[in-house]
Amino acid sequence: MITDFQAFFSRQLARPSGWFGRLVTARWLERANVGMNALTLAELALGADDRLLEIGLGSGQLLESAWRAHAPALVAGIDISQEMVRHATQRLRRQAASHDVRLEHGGVEAIAYS
């Protein structure tokens, strides 16, 4: 039997929302994904002319790390959680002021990147 908390937490993992999504889920996912994100960046070996799109950008930690380490020509992301897009937008506001950073709210079917 699934408890109310289990159902709530499952919904938060799928689509973080509200203060719990911003303060708990986002931070927990960042810590849980730090190794995978580092491996991803190492394997991508991005350069200044590359473009990076992250589907399910979460808090924007991977995009920020990519920009800091490699400053690709375009850093973009899409997420179904409006809360995570707001969080990532705040996190990447300095980069967006002078570089091509595009963050959007939507599902994978809304991708318009090529």
Q: What is the pTM of this model?
A: 0.80
Q: Please enumerate, as own/partner, the contacts of 97-102 that have beta carbons within 8 Å and a separation of 24 or more.
A: 99/67, 99/71, 99/75, 100/73, 100/74, 100/75, 101/63, 101/67, 101/74, 101/75, 101/76, 102/74, 102/75, 102/76, 102/77
SS3 76: strand
Q: How many Cβ atoms from other residues are within 10 Å of residue 12's Cβ?
A: 20
pLDDT at residue 30 greater than cutoff 60: yes
Percent residues over pLDDT 90 in the chain: 46
Q: What is the pLDDT of residue 114?
A: 55
Which regions of the chain does DSSP assign to beta strands (E)?
51-55, 74-79, 100-105
Q: How many Cβ atoms from other residues are within 10 Å of residue 103's Cβ?
A: 22
Q: What H or E segment, with its residue span, contains residue 46?
A: none
What is the pLDDT confidence band of residue 90, given thresholds at 50, 70 and 90? Answer: very high
